[in-house]
Amino acid sequence: AQVEFANKLIEEKLINKMNHSFTTLFNGFSAQTTYGKYKELLSKGYQVKTIALPPMPTDDLLPTEVECSLGNINELTDDEVRELLKDCEGFIYAAGADERVVPQKPATKFFYEANVLPTQRLARLAKEAGIKKFVVFGSYLAEFAERLPEYNLRSQAYPNNRLLQEQIAFAEGEGEAIPVEVTAVDGAPRYTGTTIKGVKVSASPEWLQKKLLAIGLRPINNVVDITNFVLHEIGQPLHA
């Protein structure tokens, strides 16, 4: 369900807004979850390039139109990463160590170094390179850790670091993390906040106004309208 939701957001919110090439990083079999997005982007006339750890599972894993380089992005210098991203508008980061990895103790340190630190560095470099859309493919366990507190997943190294990975990505992108305390976990197991700077309150674009009018809602302004749009599009309440 998490992959389905992520794919829907990428397709509807990112693909339709981009007008240059789109870079995605994947590691090993993560490519299978992004193959459909490659095809969707290519069908809309976008350029796609990727860097993947060798060896590739099969020679025909990716569409032939995808520009694929083999290597480890974490071994590139900062200048090399910025060069890789200079002609791109979006970057999907889908690498790192997943729940199949069983590290030696201390596991927290291992997952922090494998998932959090690379995300922090690449989010910073993506911003410096002018990337407008930085997407992290995290883990369903991060969602479970928030929705199912009775299983105490937050105390485990892997889910805890996946949650930290999200916060780091927000912080590096100037979406400053806001401390949130959830007191009614049964009604709202997860509540997150972020700061978006430089927003000018104005009339919403025509496409958004039409979407709201079609379901009987009166457009107010861009800030109010986008929260209503997200609520009715994916069933996720927002407050701004």
Do 90 and 14 form a contact (C-beta atoms < 8 A)? Answer: yes
Structure token digits, residue 14: 């990112």
pLDDT digits (tens, 9 = 90+) for 2-49: 444 444 444 444 444 444 455 554 433 455 556 777 787 788 777 888
Per-residue CA distances from 203 to 140, 209, 240 (Å): 36, 9, 16
pLDDT digits (tens, 9 = 90+) for 211-221: 999 998 888 88
No. of helices (H) and no. of strands (E), the chain: 9, 5
